[in-house]
Amino acid sequence: MAVDWDALRASAVAVSARAYAPYSNYHVGAAALADDGRELVGCNVENAAYGVVLCAECGVVSSLHATGGGRLTHFVCVDGRGEVIMPCGRCRQLLFENGGNDLELLTPSGVKRMSDVLPDAFGPDDLTGDR
Protein backbone atom coordinates (compact mmCIF):
# COMPACT_ATOMS: atom_id res chain seq x y z
CA MET A 1 0.00 0.00 0.00
CA ALA A 2 1.26 3.47 -0.82
CA VAL A 3 2.38 5.56 2.11
CA ASP A 4 0.42 8.70 2.91
CA TRP A 5 3.31 11.13 3.10
CA ASP A 6 0.93 14.08 3.59
CA ALA A 7 -0.47 12.46 6.73
CA LEU A 8 2.99 11.61 8.06
CA ARG A 9 4.16 15.15 7.40
CA ALA A 10 1.07 16.52 9.16
CA SER A 11 2.00 14.47 12.22
CA ALA A 12 5.50 15.94 12.12
CA VAL A 13 4.07 19.45 11.86
CA ALA A 14 1.74 18.81 14.80
CA VAL A 15 4.49 17.55 17.09
CA SER A 16 6.82 20.40 16.12
CA ALA A 17 4.53 22.64 18.16
CA ARG A 18 5.66 20.72 21.25
CA ALA A 19 9.37 21.29 20.65
CA TYR A 20 11.32 22.70 23.58
CA ALA A 21 13.74 24.98 21.78
CA PRO A 22 14.20 28.15 23.87
CA TYR A 23 17.84 28.60 22.79
CA SER A 24 17.76 28.18 19.03
CA ASN A 25 14.04 28.93 18.65
CA TYR A 26 14.22 26.37 15.83
CA HIS A 27 11.38 23.94 16.30
CA VAL A 28 11.61 20.50 14.73
CA GLY A 29 8.99 17.78 14.46
CA ALA A 30 9.69 14.27 13.19
CA ALA A 31 7.33 11.43 12.32
CA ALA A 32 7.99 7.90 11.18
CA LEU A 33 6.23 4.64 10.47
CA ALA A 34 7.37 1.31 11.87
CA ASP A 35 7.17 -1.95 9.96
CA ASP A 36 3.95 -2.89 11.79
CA GLY A 37 2.30 0.38 10.73
CA ARG A 38 2.78 2.14 14.06
CA GLU A 39 3.40 5.88 13.89
CA LEU A 40 6.16 7.41 16.02
CA VAL A 41 6.75 11.09 16.61
CA GLY A 42 9.36 13.24 18.29
CA CYS A 43 10.37 16.87 18.78
CA ASN A 44 13.65 18.52 19.65
CA VAL A 45 14.42 19.15 23.30
CA GLU A 46 17.18 21.64 24.08
CA ASN A 47 19.23 22.17 27.23
CA ALA A 48 20.95 25.08 28.95
CA ALA A 49 24.13 23.11 28.29
CA TYR A 50 23.70 23.63 24.57
CA GLY A 51 25.55 20.52 23.41
CA VAL A 52 23.16 18.25 25.29
CA VAL A 53 20.35 18.89 22.81
CA LEU A 54 18.10 16.00 21.81
CA CYS A 55 17.14 16.18 18.16
CA ALA A 56 13.57 15.31 17.19
CA GLU A 57 14.88 12.05 15.70
CA CYS A 58 16.03 10.93 19.16
CA GLY A 59 12.43 11.07 20.31
CA VAL A 60 11.27 9.00 17.35
CA VAL A 61 13.87 6.31 17.98
CA SER A 62 13.17 6.21 21.72
CA SER A 63 9.46 5.92 21.03
CA LEU A 64 10.09 3.10 18.54
CA HIS A 65 11.74 1.02 21.24
CA ALA A 66 9.51 2.17 24.10
CA THR A 67 6.36 1.11 22.27
CA GLY A 68 7.46 -2.33 21.14
CA GLY A 69 10.50 -2.11 18.88
CA GLY A 70 10.62 -3.04 15.22
CA ARG A 71 12.11 -1.22 12.27
CA LEU A 72 11.52 2.23 10.84
CA THR A 73 10.21 2.18 7.27
CA HIS A 74 9.27 5.80 6.51
CA PHE A 75 10.47 9.11 7.99
CA VAL A 76 9.98 12.86 7.63
CA CYS A 77 11.03 15.88 9.68
CA VAL A 78 9.95 19.50 9.43
CA ASP A 79 10.92 22.89 10.80
CA GLY A 80 8.64 25.27 12.68
CA ARG A 81 7.17 26.59 9.41
CA GLY A 82 6.21 23.09 8.35
CA GLU A 83 8.90 22.88 5.68
CA VAL A 84 10.51 19.50 5.18
CA ILE A 85 14.15 19.48 6.31
CA MET A 86 16.98 16.96 6.14
CA PRO A 87 17.90 15.05 9.28
CA CYS A 88 21.32 16.14 10.56
CA GLY A 89 24.29 13.86 9.99
CA ARG A 90 24.22 12.37 13.47
CA CYS A 91 20.54 11.59 13.16
CA ARG A 92 21.02 9.92 9.79
CA GLN A 93 23.22 7.49 11.69
CA LEU A 94 20.47 7.00 14.30
CA LEU A 95 17.92 6.39 11.56
CA PHE A 96 20.22 3.97 9.74
CA GLU A 97 20.63 1.86 12.87
CA ASN A 98 16.87 1.53 13.18
CA GLY A 99 15.78 1.36 9.54
CA GLY A 100 18.74 0.33 7.45
CA ASN A 101 19.30 1.14 3.80
CA ASP A 102 15.65 0.59 2.85
CA LEU A 103 14.24 3.30 5.10
CA GLU A 104 12.45 5.87 2.93
CA LEU A 105 12.77 9.55 3.79
CA LEU A 106 10.71 12.45 2.52
CA THR A 107 13.33 15.16 1.84
CA PRO A 108 13.20 18.68 0.35
CA SER A 109 14.13 17.05 -2.96
CA GLY A 110 11.66 14.17 -2.83
CA VAL A 111 11.52 10.66 -1.44
CA LYS A 112 14.96 9.09 -0.97
CA ARG A 113 16.33 5.91 0.50
CA MET A 114 18.62 5.88 3.49
CA SER A 115 21.38 4.60 1.24
CA ASP A 116 21.03 7.81 -0.80
CA VAL A 117 21.46 10.13 2.17
CA LEU A 118 24.03 8.09 4.13
CA PRO A 119 25.95 6.09 1.54
CA ASP A 120 28.19 3.25 2.65
CA ALA A 121 26.99 3.71 6.21
CA PHE A 122 28.82 2.24 9.15
CA GLY A 123 26.39 0.00 11.00
CA PRO A 124 25.73 -3.14 13.01
CA ASP A 125 27.12 -5.43 10.29
CA ASP A 126 30.53 -3.77 10.64
CA LEU A 127 30.88 -4.97 14.22
CA THR A 128 30.72 -8.68 13.47
CA GLY A 129 34.37 -9.23 12.56
CA ASP A 130 37.49 -7.85 14.16
CA ARG A 131 36.85 -8.07 17.93
Q: Is 44 in the site for ligand THU (CB under 6 A)?
A: yes
Burial tier of 10 (Cβ tally within 10 Å: 0-12, 13-18, 19+): middle
Taking CB under 6 A as the binding criterion, the range among 6-14, 19-27, 93-101, 118-126 that sits at the site for ligand THU is: 19-27
Dihedral Cα 47, 83, 30, 102, nearest 10 deg: -130
- Specify the amino acid at residue 77: C
Please, which residue, 79 or 126, has the CB nearer to ligand THU? 79
Taking CB under 6 A as the rule, does residue 99 contact ligand THU?
no
The nearest distance, CB 124 to ligand THU, in angstroms, is 22
List strand residue ranges (DSSP E) for the chain, in order: 29-34, 39-43, 72-78, 84-85, 104-107, 110-113
Name 59's Cβ contacts closer than 8 Å, sequence gap at least 6. Answer: 30, 41, 42, 43, 44, 45
Q: In the complex, what is the shortest distance from the CB of residue 85 to ligand THU, in angstroms, rounded to a whole number?
A: 7
Answer for which of 8, 15, 28, 41 binds ligand THU (CB under 6 A) is 28
- Residues marked active site are found at 57
Contact positions vs ligand THU (CB under 6 A): 21, 24, 26, 28, 44, 46, 53, 55-57, 77, 87-88, 91
